[in-house]
Amino acid sequence: MIRSINTLLVPIPTIRAHKLACTVMNEQVLVLVHIQTEDGYEGWGEATTIGGLSYAEESPHSIKTNIDTYFTPLLLKEQPASAAKAMQLLNDHINGNRFAKCAIETALLDIEGKRLNLPVSELVGGRVRDRIEVAWTLASGNTATDISEAKRMIAQKRHRIFKLKIGSNPILDDVAHVLAIKQALPDCRITVDVNQAWTELEAMQGISLLQTGGVDLIEQPISMRNKSALKRLTEHFDVPIMADEIVQDPQNAFHLAADHCADVFAVKINQAGGLKAACLIGQMAHLAGVELYGGTMLEGPIGTAASAHVFSTYPSLRFDTELFGPLLLTEDILVQPLDYQNFGLNVPTGPGLGIEVDSDKVYRYAKQAVAK
């Protein structure tokens, strides 16, 4: 039986400003869920989002409020016997709130894995890879700084795939920035993430120039509300177009895959509404001939570990992953950090998520944040 559910807001500064089309981040507020059972097990989940409400309809504070007010009383009253039954209960009684649901499911799967002495990856489909390559996002906004940062990452064998965040500047300025970096890093895969900032006409101009310049992947160039335009862009260009914000729950993803609205899906466990939902999206995309990319909401190590377990089960992961979130933070909340080496991340192999959270540090940071 579930004994307690605690939801914590843990703000951690980033190592540098992280510039997106919709906001500039100088810290990340981790939303952590800590579930303890009557028989002595504990599980951790994460529902971290980006930039408050500037990116999505759930924010750290709304996630915590909704879990505390609606999720926790329901789960403590009904005492579902498994993560699957808990998710069915939540979906029957609570609309939306995909990020919050993901955190609860993650924590319960962490407990189930520990109880069964199995990694979470074996509970959600079975892993087919033990290591995943990890891209790094260059988001300082300065061309020279980004090139220097990328070369340092390559020399350290940290990353050799890079994503560039654009969309907040005039198109020609953004394109010049991207192509200068591509020319400086000719052997590296370069992805451009527009974060929905362009109109369809702007996207036609921008993608044409980026394709000519050798950019390898274009992520969500237009609004998530414009599905038809995304499909037109996918059909028009040779450079792969990746859907991100538009890829949400499995039903939504099914229609996108069936209509082949994009060449690639960026899958995020929080955006999908949970680990099993993210696995289902991956399977549907694979069956429909849509390639896969392991996305991130810039989660800390808990959400990143959970994501790694999911992506390790995908039949194909042609465009690799972006699970660099913990490396963007100035502090780690694990007793032993995640194992990043040789341009990738080794998927944890221990029971549950395979990580040990530093509970004292997490609760101390959460308490300090409340005191402010």
Is there a single domain that holds both residue 206 and residue 305?
yes
Q: Is pLDDT at 15 greater than 90 in this prediction? A: no
Please, what is the Cα angle at 135 between 48 and 96, to 5 degrees?
30
Q: Is pLDDT at 21 greater than 60 in this prediction? A: no
Return the pLDDT at 20. Answer: 63
Is there a single domain that holds both residue 162 and residue 307?
yes
Return the pLDDT at 23. Answer: 66
Is there a single domain that holds both residue 60 and residue 155?
no
**What one-character-per-residue DSSP string does 67-84 give?**
IIIIIHHHHHHH--SSHH
Tens-place pLDDT, residues 192-231:
999 999 999 999 999 999 999 999 999 999 999 999 999 9
Is there a single domain that holds both residue 128 and residue 273?
yes
Secondary structure class of 16 (helix, strand, coil): strand
Is there a single domain that holds both residue 198 and residue 334?
yes
Is there a single domain that holds both residue 219 and residue 342?
yes
Q: Is pLDDT at 347 greater than 80 in this prediction? A: yes
- What is the spatial distance between Cα 285 and Cα 279, in angstroms, rounded to a whole number? 10
Is the CB of residue 136 less than 8 Å from the CB of residue 153? yes
Is there a single domain that holds both residue 65 and residue 214?
no
Is there a single domain that holds both residue 183 and residue 141?
yes
Task: Say if 24 falls within a structural domain.
Answer: yes
* Domain containing residue 49: CATH number: 3.30.390.10
- What is the spatial distance between Cα 311 and Cα 346, in angstroms, rounded to a whole number? 12
DSSP character at residue 348: P
Is there a single domain that holds both residue 158 and residue 99?
no
Tens-place pLDDT, residues 101-112:
999 999 999 999
Task: Say if 175 falls within a structural domain.
Answer: yes
| Residues contacting residue 277 through CB under 8 Å, at least 6 positions apart | 249, 250, 269
Under the banding of pLDDT at 50, 70 and 90, the label for residue 356 is very high
Task: Say if 351 falls within a structural domain.
Answer: no
pTM of the model: 0.95
Task: Say if 139 falls within a structural domain.
Answer: yes
Active site members: 165, 322
Please give the tally of structural domains in the chain: 2
DSSP character at residue 209: H
Residue 190: domain span = 123-346
Is there a single domain that holds both residue 255 and residue 269?
yes
Return the pLDDT at 368. Answer: 86
Q: What is the mean pLDDT of residues 132-150?
A: 93
